[in-house]
């Protein structure tokens, strides 16, 4: 899931859309859910409480990463501590069925935050490179896409700074990363770098490319990852585009 972002498309509408997604996911009953950041549009006690209330209706584990709307465009100790206290860890790893999932705070890649970015980067490199000892295939999750159109594009609001981007792509290629999942762009973006899937999915709040609201179901067979889009059964009429794949 990407950008539940309660308040982005209209607060009550986003509540209904997130609730609808949870209902459909419970019927599908996958192993777990990952939400790729921007849980809410404006981070406060009320919006986070609404997010948590709906998330807790899931019958399966749900793992979240922070987005810029959750910890601000330039995070600081107050916004990071508030997220950590209210939602939980902003970067961590878990294992499932022989796969390693590394969930990052990509805001600390986007911006150089004193006392935080270096710590996060050291943790990420150590965590990623240690997977080689486990021989686990790796899925990395963040909020920001590494890039939108090509790996050498200029930095902008929707991507990671180029030096950090190239560093990450090299690390991914060297350490058995199969996919990087992200949000933030509010449009479907699918790229492939050295057979690494870079996928930014549709949101449940507002899609700038007019695709329906929904989420992506990922399936694993051996070391192969596949995904397909599942639209929300109840769509807000003004956002429906019947011509989508």
Q: Residue 181's beta-bridge partner residues?
A: 141, 199
Tokens for 174?
Answer: 């060297």
How does pLDDT run across 174-219, given as a tens digit for each residue?
Answer: 999 999 999 999 999 999 999 999 999 999 999 999 999 999 999 9
Centre a 10 Å sphere on the Cβ of residue 75 and count the other Cβ atoms it contains: 23
How does pLDDT run across 90-124, given as a tens digit for each residue?
Answer: 999 999 998 999 999 999 999 999 999 999 999 99
Is beta strand 177-182 parallel, antiparallel or unpaired with respect to 189-193? unpaired
Residue 134 pLDDT grade (very low, low, confident, very high; cuts 50, 70, 90) = low
Distance of CA 17 to the CA centre of its chain: 17
Across the range 124-145, mean pLDDT stands at: 90
Contact 52, 62 (CB under 8 A): no
What is the per-residue pLDDT for 223?
Answer: 64
In the chain, the domains with their CATH numbers are 11-239 (3.60.21.10)
Q: What is the mean pLDDT of the chain?
A: 94
- What's the rounded Cα separation, in Å, for the pair 193 and 208? 24
Does the pTM of the predicted model rise above 0.85? yes
């Amino acid at each position: 899931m990407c950008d539940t972002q309660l308040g982005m498309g209209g607060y009550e509408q986003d509540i209904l859309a997130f609730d609808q997604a949870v209902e459909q996911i419970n019927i599908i009953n996958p192993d777990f859910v990952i939400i790729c950041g921007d849980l809410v549009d404006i981070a406060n006690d009320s919006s986070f409480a609404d997010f948590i209330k709906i998330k807790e209706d899931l019958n399966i584990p749900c793992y979240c990463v922070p987005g810029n709307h959750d910890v601000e465009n330039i995070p600081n100790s107050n916004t990071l501590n508030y997220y950590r206290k209210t939602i939980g860890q902003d970067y961590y790893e878990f294992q499932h069925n022989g796969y390693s999932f590394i969930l990052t705070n990509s805001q600390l890649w986007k911006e150089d935050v004193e006392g935080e970015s270096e710590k996060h980067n050291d943790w990420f490199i150590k965590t990623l490179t240690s997977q080689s000892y486990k021989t686990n295939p790796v899925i990395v999750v963040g909020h920001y896409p590494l890039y939108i159109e090509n790996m050498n594009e200029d930095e902008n609001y929707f991507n990671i700074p180029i030096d950090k981007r190239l560093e990450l792509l090299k690390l991914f290629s060297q350490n058995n990363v199969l996919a990087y999942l992200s949000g933030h762009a509010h449009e479907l973006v699918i790229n492939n770098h050295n057979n690494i899937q870079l996928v930014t999915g549709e949101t449940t709040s507002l899609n700038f490319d007019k695709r329906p609201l929904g989420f992506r179901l990922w399936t694993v067979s051996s070391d192969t990852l596949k995904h397909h889009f599942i639209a929300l059964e109840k769509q807000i009429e003004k956002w429906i585009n019947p011509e989508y794949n």
